[in-house]
Amino acid sequence: MIQLEEKAYFYLLAILPVMVVAFLLLQVWKKRTQNQFADSKLLRRLAPNRSNFKSALKLIFLLLGLAFLILGLVNPKIGTKLETVKREGVDIVFAVDVSKSMLAEDIAPNRLEKAKRLVSEIINQLASDRIGIIAYAGQAYPQLPITTDYGAAKMFLQSMNTDMLSSQGTAINAAIDLASTYYNDSEQTNRILFIVSDGEDHSERSTIDAVDNAIQNGIRIFTIGVGKPKGAPIPIKRNGVVQGLKKDNKGEVVITKLNEMVLSEIASEGNGEYIDGSNTENAVEYIKEQLNQMDKKEFEAKQFAEYKDQFQWFLGIGLLFLFLDIFLLDRKTKWLKKLNLFNEHDDA
Say how far apart CA 1 and CA 4 lie, in whole Å.
Answer: 10
Calculated CA dihedral for residues 175, 239, 119, 203, nearest 10 degrees: -20
Q: Which residues pair with 232 in a beta bridge?
A: 256
Which whole number is the average pLDDT over 317-341? 70
pLDDT digits (tens, 9 = 90+) for 176-210: 999 999 987 666 668 999 999 999 887 766 889 99
Residue 162 DSSP code? T
Domain ranges of the chain: 2-75+310-339, 85-301
Radius of gyration over every alpha carbon of the chain, rounded to an integer in angstroms: 30
Q: In the chain, what is the straight-line distance between the N-terminal and C-terminal CA atoms, in Å?
A: 60
Say how far apart CA 183 and CA 145 lie, in whole Å.
Answer: 9
pLDDT digits (tens, 9 = 90+) for 224-249: 999 999 999 999 888 778 888 988 88
Q: Which residues pair with 88 in a beta bridge?
A: 298
Pairing of strands 140-147, 232-233: unpaired
pLDDT digits (tens, 9 = 90+) for 83-99: 666 667 889 999 999 99
pLDDT for residue 220: 94
Say how far apart CA 183 and CA 214 lie, in whole Å.
Answer: 11
Say how far apart CA 334 and CA 25 lie, in whole Å.
Answer: 29
Which whole number is the average pLDDT over 35-49? 62
pLDDT for residue 37: 67
Contact criterion met (CB below 8 Å) for 207 and 200:
no
- Regarding predicted confidence, which is higher, 43 or 135? 135
pLDDT digits (tens, 9 = 90+) for 106-121: 998 999 999 999 999 9
User: Using alpha carbons only, what angle is made at residue 269 by residues 266 and 271, rounded to the nearest 5 degrees?
Assistant: 105
pLDDT digits (tens, 9 = 90+) for 8-23: 888 899 999 999 999 8
pLDDT for residue 129: 87
Residue 165 DSSP code? -
pLDDT for residue 38: 62
pLDDT for residue 347: 47
- CATH class given for the domain over 85-301: alpha beta
Contact criterion met (CB below 8 Å) for 98 and 164:
yes
**Helix (H/G/I), strand (E/B), else coil: 222:** strand
On average, the pLDDT of the chain sits at 84
Pairing of strands 241-245, 235-238: antiparallel
Say how far apart CA 254 and CA 156 lie, in whole Å.
Answer: 30
How would residue 342 be classed by pLDDT, with cut points 50, 70 and 90? very low
**Helix (H/G/I), strand (E/B), else coil: 258:** coil
Say how far apart CA 103 and CA 235 lie, in whole Å.
Answer: 7
- Regarding predicted confidence, which is higher, 44 or 206? 206
